[in-house]
Amino acid sequence: MDIIARLKAVSPNLLTGAETLAYGRDWIGKHVTTPLAVLRPATTAEVAAILALCNETGTPVVPMGGNTGLTGATAAEGAVILSLERMNRIRDIRPEARLAVVEAGVILQDLHEASARHGLRYPMSFGAQGSARIGGTLATNAGGSNVLRYGNTRDLCLGLEVVLADGRVLDLMSALHKDNSGYDLRDLMIGSEGTLGVITAAVLKLVPAPRAHATAMVTVPGLSAALRLLNALQERTGGMVEAFEYMPRDYMARLARVRPDLTPPLGHDHDHTIFLEIASSVPRDCKADEDGRVPLAHHLEDTLGALFEEGLVSDAALAQSEAQRAQMWAIREAAAEISTAETPVVINDLCLPLDRVEDFLDRAATALRRLDPGFSTCVVAHLGDGNIHYTVTPSDAALCDAVMDTVEDIVADMGGSFSAEHGIGLAKLPSMRRRKDPVALEMMRAVKAAFDPKGVLNPGKTLP
């Protein structure tokens, strides 16, 4: 019996041929592969049977969630794709314990909606949340726009169920906030991009849904003032800051060219613009007055006024309505569109220590000017996390590799990371090879060998 027939015997919902095409192609269209077959198991036991068989026969397996990754981590040439899409049940929401028990195939947006019905939220959101699945967010340790306040996926997960390469089920389905019974296998699995096991279910933390927001665009005299502004805001609001996004002059210039319909409230002509938002679930902050304004908005206005007096803020525009708030968000969310609007393009998803961002931007600009006097950049940063999307347009496509290398040299020298939130997949393998601590790479390979000795799980990804 050939492998397809044997797989079909344990997992009947199997696709081959033309039906696999959509699975073989990532959504940015950069990685197009021909999978051997696509399996869509409905239970953990079925996943276990598939993996046992693939391990026995040496058949490569690529786990897949919503297929919204940016690094080619689900490219599957000649491999079996194991799609978790049918394991999409929210098993339980326990509002008193502030947790959700979900299967890996649950779509992020569906969890948002289910949580909202209890006045709660799962505080992870990003552009692809309408199709991204929880298993994928766990496999990549996804970030998104709430990291500043709530952390990465790792900070939001209490427990996991994982099927190992040989089909054994690893039960880490803890709903506990403290558990010191042995090594942290959960966090090892999170972010391992399907190379150590297949996540089938998880216990996730929920938080109270915010009842009010206060949103502003401000200009600041410099990046060091920006960091002091963030710290002062955190201190004076008790940690309510949910967004603190940095848009320098090059971003605003590109916005003016590519999206002239979006008008920044303080104009385009500033070196350093910050978009910020605070949010609260506290009733005393959230009860609107007769003008429809909430105390939270007054609090932000007063705080920014005080920080203006202290020289940390040059100018500020507060959103006076939901429409103005949406317009400010749109200016930030245009990033993907405007930063790739001019080609050739080198996309860097970098992280720097919070107090090194300014120095990094100076050094990178100097080094790139030396390499390519005609370069331009479009920079936008989750400044509160030190995460910089540093997009470069060289004057000549032949310079792309040299540009990436120059930028990553500086990042490495300053203790930064070449992959902040997107992961490694295939796209960042060269950076892993060149930049990662060699001892760390050796130990990651040893861990891989311990969990997947035959190398059937997502082969060729994550580790060079």
State which of residues 130, 283, 305, 311 lies at the interface with a second copy (CB under 8 A): 283
State which of residues 109, 281, 320, 324 lies at the interface with a second copy (CB under 8 A): 281
Q: What angle do CA 271, 152, 132 make, to 5 degrees?
A: 95
**Cβ-based nearer residue to a second copy, 37 or 101:** 101
**Cβ-based nearer residue to a second copy, 36 or 274:** 274
**Cβ-based nearer residue to a second copy, 130 or 353:** 353
Long-range contacts of 122-126 (CB under 8 A, 24+ apart): 122/156, 122/204, 122/205, 122/206, 122/207, 123/149, 123/150, 123/156, 123/207, 124/150, 124/153, 124/156
Identify whether 264 is preceded by a cis peptide bond (ω within 30 of 0).
no
State which of residues 99, 214, 243, 331 lies at the interface with a second copy (CB under 8 A): 99
**Cβ-based nearer residue to a second copy, 122 or 451:** 451
Contact 122, 206 (CB under 8 A): yes
In the complex, least distance from residue 1 CB atom to a second copy, rounded to whole angstroms: 29
**Cβ-based nearer residue to a second copy, 80 or 241:** 241
State which of residues 98, 249, 293, 325 lies at the interface with a second copy (CB under 8 A): 98
**Cβ-based nearer residue to a second copy, 231 or 376:** 231
**Cβ-based nearer residue to a second copy, 105 or 384:** 384
* Both tokens assigned to 171: 């039960």
DSSP character at residue 181 = S
**Total binding residues for a second copy by CB under 8 A?**
97
- Which residues inside 196-255 make contact with a second copy, applying CB under 8 A? 196, 208, 224, 227-228, 231, 234-240
Alpha carbon dihedral 390, 393, 396, 398, in 10-degree steps, equals 30
Contacts of 108 (CB under 8 A, 6+ apart): 122, 124, 125, 129, 130, 132, 133, 134, 137
- The type of residue at 324 is Q
**Cβ-based nearer residue to a second copy, 87 or 142:** 142
Strand partners of residue 205: 99
State which of residues 280, 339, 393, 458 lies at the interface with a second copy (CB under 8 A): 280
Contact 240, 319 (CB under 8 A): no
* Distance of alpha carbon 318 from the chain centroid: 28
Say how far apart CA 192 and CA 337 lie, in whole Å: 29
- Can you say whether residue 316 is alpha, beta or left, with left for phi > 0 and alpha for psi between -120 and 50 degrees? beta
* Interaction of residue 185 with a second copy, rule CB under 8 A: yes
* Interaction of residue 22 with a second copy, rule CB under 8 A: no
The interface mask with a second copy, positions 366-405, x = CB under 8 A, is ----------------x-xxxx------------------
State which of residues 21, 97, 262, 400 lies at the interface with a second copy (CB under 8 A): 97
Q: 464: buried, middle or exposed (CB in 10 Å: 19+, 13-18, 0-12)?
A: middle
**Cβ-based nearer residue to a second copy, 267 or 455:** 455
* Both tokens assigned to 111: 């969890």
Pairing type for strands 80-83 and 37-39 reads parallel
Phi first, then psi, for residue 139 (nearest 5°) are -60, -25
- Which residues inside 152-181 make contact with a second copy, applying CB under 8 A? 152, 154-155, 164, 168-181
- Can you say whether residue 212 is alpha, beta or left, with left for phi > 0 and alpha for psi between -120 and 50 degrees? beta
In the complex, least distance from residue 416 CB atom to a second copy, rounded to whole angstroms: 7
* Both tokens assigned to 127: 């552009």
In the complex, least distance from residue 75 CB atom to a second copy, rounded to whole angstroms: 18
- Which residues inside 29-68 make contact with a second copy, applying CB under 8 A? none
State which of residues 419, 427, 457, 458 lies at the interface with a second copy (CB under 8 A): 419
State which of residues 1, 2, 5, 183 lies at the interface with a second copy (CB under 8 A): 183
- Which residues inside 312-371 make contact with a second copy, applying CB under 8 A? 351-356
State which of residues 190, 243, 361, 379 lies at the interface with a second copy (CB under 8 A): 190
The interface mask with a second copy, positions 425-464, x = CB under 8 A, is ---x--xx--xxx-xxxxxx-xx-xxx----------xx-
Stretch that binds a second copy, among 57-65, 135-143, 242-250, 251-259 (CB under 8 A): 135-143
